[in-house]
Structures are given as structure tokens and as C-alpha cells.
Amino acid sequence: MQNTEALIQCIRGNEFEGELNAITTFYGDDFQKDNLRCQLKMVSANFESDCKREDVVFADIVKYVKSLSKGEKVWLNEVVKLIKLVLVMPATSATSERSFSSLRRMKSYLRSTMKQARLNSVMFLNVHKDKTDGLNIHDVAKEFVFKESRYNTFGKTYCIC
């Protein structure tokens, strides 16, 4: 959030030093603070948009930076890097949310019949459903049955497939 606020405050002509400090503290050596400050001021001075500066949103800034020439983007490399980071930053962690949701369903369905090791295995299969759906079930079953450690359970089996 600090990333977008620094850009917006700068374009609007407001003080953005607090946001700049937060960015450079969070990202450490990824940004050169003085260069970023100078480049933000350059973007603010040259910013052109259809709307008033008070009404500028992050999408307007992205549109402006995309319209710059390659040479201008090289001169504003710190600002371009900041915008790229904002654009690829996930809003939430959907994977963990899916995992917790799946776990809740699995535990309510199989609460009393499953030990922790089996629950972990079933959860892994459920969360990575896109990969496990592509597996050939007959090949998996054959590999399971033909393991040497399972001779006592299944006997010596011969493949007739």
C-alpha cells in the first residue's frame, strides 16, 4: 500500500517522504533512496493526464509510465521498478486460503477415521488437484502393488496388463 501511496502523493504534489522511507526500509537495497526521490519528482513534474492531479489514481500513473519511450523508462528505472513490484504483488494469498478451506471440509468429512499422516497425504492431493487429476490411476495402482515391501500384503503379483 505504501508503494502506491508514494506515487500518488508525489503526483498530487503532496509530501511523500514517509512513504518513501517505508519503501526503502521494506525493500532494503533494492531501491536507491535518493534516485527514487529524484525520479518521483521528475515523474511529478512531467506527468500528463486527462484528470486533475487531485483525482489521480494508480492506474493513471501506470498508463503514463507505459506511454513513455524506452529511453525515458531507463531514466526512470527506479519508478518503473516500483510500479512493476506493485503490479505483481498479490493482494492475498489465495493458496493458503484454499488450503484452510480444504482442510476444514476434509476434517469435517473424515474427522474420526483419519490419522495425521493420512490427513496430510489427502490434503496434499486435494490442494494440488490440478496435478493429481492428470495422473493415470492404473499406473499409480501398479506402482503401489508391485513395491517389494507389499509382498506380504498382496503376494507375489505378476503383471497381466
68 CB contacts (<8 Å, ≥6 apart)? 76
Q: 3-state DSSP call for residue 59?
A: helix
The full set of domain ranges for the chain reads: 2-88, 94-127, 136-161
Q: What is the reported pTM?
A: 0.53
* DSSP letters spanning 93-117: -HHHHHHHHHHHHHHHHHTTT--HH
Task: Render each residue's pLDDT in the chain as its tens digit; 161 residues.
Answer: 567 787 888 888 888 888 888 888 888 888 888 998 898 888 888 887 666 777 788 888 888 889 889 998 899 999 899 888 888 776 655 555 556 666 666 666 656 666 777 777 877 887 788 888 888 888 888 887 777 777 677 766 665 55
Which amino acid makes up residue 145?
A: V
pLDDT value of residue 143: 82
Q: What is the C-alpha end-to-end distance of the chain, expressed in Å?
A: 59
Q: 42 and 10 in contact (C-beta within 8 Å)?
A: no
Q: Are 93 and 104 in contact (CB under 8 A)?
A: no
Q: Name the H helices within 28-146.
A: 33-46, 58-67, 70-75, 77-88, 94-110, 116-127, 129-132, 137-145
Interatomic CA distance for residues 42 and 132, integer angstroms: 51
